[in-house]
Amino acid sequence: MSEAHEAGAATGHDVLVTTPSFGQHAREPWEVFEAAGVRARTASAAHPLTERQLIEEAEGVRALVVGLDPVTAAVLDAAPGLTVVAKHGVGTDNIDLSAAAAHGVRVVNAPGSNTTAVADMTMALLLAAVRRIVPAHASVTGGRWDRFFGPELAGRTLGIVGFGRIGQAVARRARGFDMDLIAYDPHLPAAVFAERGVPSVTLDELIAAADVITLHLPMPSGGPLLGRAELAAMKPGSCVINTARGGLVDEDALAELLHSGHLAAAGIDVFATEPPAGNPLLTAPNAVLTPHCAAFTQQANAAMGSTVAADVVRVLRGEEPVNAVV
């Protein structure tokens, strides 16, 4: 770690970076700060910080670069010099946007920077889950020769919940596997679906028709989007893929339906609580689980960090950010 981003005392243009993935595999994000003469320091507490930890660490800073840390009204109250909060990623559901606006704090993110990485991981989880790659690998390395049957993707219906950049990128990849596509996204106009050649359906229609459901949207209010009733209404032998937010799926119900065999497989990169100690999915059959790493490619790491760092510098200079959320 260079002197420019060692942990240390705050300065007039200090940036606190709380997420360990910022510039983890790329020098470019740190170099953006260094070239602008802006000092960035890392948090001493482990990510994600609690509200109390963030309040303590953010004292005196002008900018925050956060991952999943809760940027609440209390955090904003405790950091009167704060000018900008940058989400190292896309979803800003951990940031109180209304409170930020009330405090005059800009919020920026990095839309599109992890699209390719997450779309690739979605297909990797899908293939690993339905073709049972993990137990097949364990069979060979364990000195056995068990062989596992699974369905082909061609002709299967992929239901894409959330049809933004990542959902559309998944659709392009799934077409290469000759899958049939449907999508649900109440926030997009019909023209977007028509342009992409993907039918727009209601969530209930998607649940009833899909052989695979993949999730690509922020966490809604009011509980899981795929609760117990929705998961039970899925076709027998179908599959759930989640690379978006853990709270989108009722994890207890998903585990039960995997155990019962109603659902054939699941590929899960995100969990309601991370790490997922004691999560029922840890012992569920035919579940491929990864540690919230869908966006972890060298290319995405460089692009995401550089994008938010550049906007932080713009705001600190009094300029308009490129990717403003608030």
Residues with active-site annotation: 245, 274, 292
Closest residue by Cα to residue 87 from 30, 17, 162: 17
| CA dihedral sign of residues 271, 272, 273, 278 | negative
317 in Cβ contact with 126 (< 8 Å): no
Cα dihedral: 19, 21, 22, 25 (round 10): 160
Q: Could you give the CA distance from residue 86 to residue 299 in angstroms, rounded to a whole number? A: 19
Q: Could you give the CA distance from residue 23 to residue 38 in angstroms, rounded to a whole number? A: 15
Phi, psi for residue 296 in degrees, rounded to 5: -90, 75
Q: Could you give the CA distance from residue 247 to residue 37 in angstroms, rounded to a whole number? A: 39
H or E element that contains 157: strand 157-161
Closest residue by Cα to residue 216 from 181, 191, 190: 181
Task: Render 180-241 in DSSP notation, one character per residue.
Answer: EEEEE-TTS-HHHHHHHT--B--HHHHHHH-SEEEE-SPPPSSS-SB-HHHHHTSPTTEEEE
SS3 288: strand
User: For residue 312, what are its two tokens?
Assistant: 């932080």
User: For residue 181, what are its two tokens?
Assistant: 């596509």
Closest residue by Cα to residue 59 from 9, 5, 3: 9
Residue 95, Ramachandran bin (φ over 0: left; ψ between -120 and 50: alpha; else beta)? beta
